[in-house]
Amino acid sequence: MSAATPAMLLTIQDLRVDFRLGTEGGTMTRAQAVGRDIGGRSVGVSFDVPENTTVALVGESGSGKSVTAMSILNLLPDNAERRGRIHFMGRDMLQLPLAELQAMRGKDIACVFQDPMSSLNPVFTIGEQLCEPLVKHLGLTRRDALKRAEALLTEVGLPEPRRRLSAHPHQLSGGQQQRVMIAMALACEPRLLIADEPTTALDVTIQRQILELLGNLKAKHRMSMLFISHDLGVVGEIADHVVVMRHGTVREQGAVADIFQRPQDAYTRALLACRPTLEQRGERLMVIDDHIAAQAGSGTAAATGTGRAKDPAAPIVVEATNLTKSFWVRSGVFGRREFRAVKGATFTLRRGHTLGVVGESGSGKTTMGLTLLRLHEPSGGPTGGRVLFHGEDLLALSKQQMLPMRRRIQVVFQNPYASLNPRFTIGQTLIEPMSIHGIGRDPAEREARAVALLQRVGLDESALHKYPHEFSGGQRQRVAIARCLTLEPEVLVLDEAVSALDVSVQAQVLNLLKDLQDELGLAYIFISHDLAVVRFMADEVLVMKDGEVVEQAGVAQILDAPQQEYTRRLLGAIPRGHVAAATASA
C-alpha cells in the first residue's frame, strides 16, 4: 500500500440486523444478530474497507461475521431487518431498489462461499455457470462468454480448462470447485470480493494454493476483499486490517500486525490462545471463557504441559496388515479399470491411544477409515489385507457377523449438519441404536442412559426433545459423539470431526475427546488435515499420499523431524499467522 491514505470503497456505520421471530402476545419478537443494546444505548457495527485492501472479519460462530457481510448485498432471509448505513462507492446499499441491487450482485460485488458444492448448481456444467454472469452483466455473446470462461479457469490455475467447461461440479475435487467459484466471482472484475470461509474445508496444501491465488488476483485486479474466517493463521497471512467480532459487536479492530502482536481486548487474546499449535503439545486447550476469566483474575487458565503419558504396553485393539481398497472406474463404453485408493497400509492401535492419519485430499485417509468400518461395499471394488479386531478379521466377516462388531467400532463424521437425521429428536437419535442392539432393559432405562450421555458430552436433559436444527455445529458434534457412546464402543474413527468448528468450539470438543479417552479407555483413529490438531490429539501418525503410507512414527518425530519431503511440504503449507500472536499473548 502507498503512503497516501487509500480511498474508502465500503463504509459500514452503526449497522444493526435483527431477525423477526413472530408475534407473541400481540408483540413482534426479534433476535439481535448484529448490534446490541448495551447499557441503554444502541451499539452497531462500524468499519471501513479501503480500496485495494483486505479486511478480515474474525470471531466465533454466531458472532455476526457472515450476517454483517451478507447485509451488504442483502443476501439475508426475508425476516431480516437492517438499520444503519452501508455505503459502497458512494451509494447507500440499504436504500437501493431490488433491481439495482441485483445488477450489482456479481458485477461490482461478488461472493465466494465456504462450501462450493452447495453453491454450484449440480445440474449445469461449469461452462454454463461461468457464462451466465458474463452474458447477463457484460452482454457477451455465447461464443465470447465461453472464451472468457476458459481464460478465467486458466487464470485461477485449473488444469485442462477447456475440458473442465463441459464438466459438472461433482466431477471436480473440492479445491477445483473452489477455484471455479473464484473464477465465477472474478468474471465481471468486481471492485469488492466477499470471501466467506473460502478455505475452511480444504486440506493445507490446497488451502495454501487458494490463499496465494486470492492474494495474486487481488493485486492483479486491484480489488478489495472482505475475508471472513475463524482461522487466525489464515487471517494473519492474507489480511491488512482485522475486525474482531463477538456477540454481534466489534470488540477490537486495527492493522493485522497490531491485532496479532499487541491485542488489547481480552476476547482477542483468548481467541489467539485457544488454537492448538505445532510448537507444543499441552494437556488441555484453552477455552474462550476460561481464558477471559483467568485474565480478569477470577479463574485459572487451562493446564499445559506435554499431556498424560500413555501405556506403551496397552493391549492392541486393531491391527491392520497390508490393507488395500480399490474401486471400479468406468473405462470406455463397456469397460472398467481398477483404481487403487489405499495401497498396503499397515499399523497397530492400542487401547487408550490415538492414531493420527494425515494427508492431502485424495490421499486415501477417509477411504482407509471407512474400509476398516466395512462401510464400502465390496461390489464397488476389491478389498485386501487383514484388519484384526481382538483377533477377528473384520474384512472376512459376513454382514450378520459384522453387526455385533459395529457396536464396538463407531464413527464420527466431518459434517454434523448432515450426519444427524433432521426428522429425529436428539432422544430418538440416541435411543434408536440402543434399541437395535438390545442395550437397556426397557425404554425408560434407555432414556436414562441417553440423558446421562448428553450430560457427559456437556449437554443437558432439555436437549432430549429437541431437533438437530435447534443446535449449533459444535453442539451437534457433541450429539454425534454421544450417539457413538450409546453402544459402549472401544474404537472411534473420527473423520475430520472438528474441521468444521470454530477455534473455541473445536477446543471444547477436543478436550471432551481426551476426557472420554481417559475415562473409558477409548482408542481413536483421528483423520485430519489439520496438523496442529493432530499434534494435540495423536500418539502416532500415518502420513498418506496417493493411497500409500509414506511415513509412520510418533507424533513428535513426524512433526519435529519429518523424514519425507512430502511431510515437510505439508508442514510448510500450514498458515502460521497466529504463531507470533499466540507466543506474545501466552
pLDDT tens for each residue of the chain, 586 residues long:
445 566 889 999 999 999 998 887 788 888 889 998 887 788 999 999 999 999 999 988 778 898 999 999 999 989 999 999 999 998 999 999 999 998 898 889 999 887 776 788 989 999 999 999 999 888 999 999 999 999 999 888 888 889 889 989 888 877 788 889 888 888 888 999 999 888 776 777 777 888 888 888 888 888 999 999 877 778 888 899 999 999 899 999 999 999 988 999 989 888 887 777 777 666 778 788 777 877 776 555 544 444 566 888 899 999 999 999 998 877 777 778 888 889 999 999 999 999 999 988 778 888 899 998 888 876 678 899 999 998 899 999 888 888 888 889 999 887 777 788 999 999 999 999 999 888 888 999 999 999 998 988 888 898 899 998 888 777 888 898 899 889 889 999 998 888 777 777 788 888 889 988 998 899 999 998 888 889 999 999 999 998 999 999 999 899 888 999 988 888 887 776 644 444 444 4
Residue pointed to by grid coordinates 431490488: 98
Cα→Cα distances 187→135, 214, 284, Å: 10, 14, 46
Both 147 and 73 in one domain: the answer is: no
Residue type present at position 24: E
The C-alpha atoms of residue 209 and residue 152 are separated, in whole angstroms, by 16
Q: Helices 565-572 and 204-221: crossing angle, nearest 10°?
A: 50
Both 180 and 324 in one domain: the answer is: no
Order the strands of the 335-350 sheet from edge to edge. Answer: 335-350, 316-331, 383-389, 392-393
Let me know if residue 208 belongs to a domain.
no
Residue 453, C-alpha cell as written in the block: 450421555
- Give the CATH number for residue 53: 3.40.50.300
Both 94 and 117 in one domain: the answer is: no
Both 481 and 504 in one domain: the answer is: yes
Which candidate, 119, 86, 84, places its Cα nearest to that of 101? 86
- Name residue 17's beta-bridge partners: 34, 82
Both 330 and 403 in one domain: the answer is: yes
Let me know if residue 456 belongs to a domain.
yes
Q: Residue 159's domain spans which residues?
A: 113-189
- 3-state class of 356 per DSSP? strand
Which candidate, 325, 338, 446, 457, places its Cα nearest to that of 394? 325
Which candidate, 432, 410, 465, 411, places its Cα nearest to that of 440? 432
Distance of CA 180 to the CA centre of its chain: 19
Last residue of a domain, one of 139, 169, 189: 189
- Name residue 541's beta-bridge partners: 356, 553
Whether the pTM exceeds 0.75: the reply is: yes
Let me know if residue 379 belongs to a domain.
yes
Q: For the CA atoms of 574, 578, 584, 585, what is the dihedral angle to 10 degrees? A: -130
Let me know if residue 206 belongs to a domain.
no
Total number of domains constituting the chain:
3
Both 522 and 556 in one domain: the answer is: yes
**Residue 537: its H or E element:** helix 531-537
Both 545 and 458 in one domain: the answer is: yes
- 3-state class of 525 per DSSP? strand
Let me know if residue 285 belongs to a domain.
no
Both 571 and 471 in one domain: the answer is: yes
Let me know if residue 435 belongs to a domain.
yes
- 523 backbone φψ class: left, alpha, beta (φ>0; ψ -120 to 50): beta
* pLDDT value for 308: 60
Both 92 and 144 in one domain: the answer is: no
Both 22 and 79 in one domain: the answer is: yes
How many beta carbons lie within 10 A of that of residue 173, not counting itself? 13
Let me know if residue 259 belongs to a domain.
no
Let me know if residue 540 belongs to a domain.
yes
* pLDDT value for 298: 59
Both 238 and 133 in one domain: the answer is: no
Q: For the CA atoms of 114, 115, 121, 122, what is the dihedral angle to 10 degrees? A: 160
- 3-state class of 120 per DSSP? coil
**Residue 254: its H or E element:** strand 249-255
Both 543 and 480 in one domain: the answer is: yes
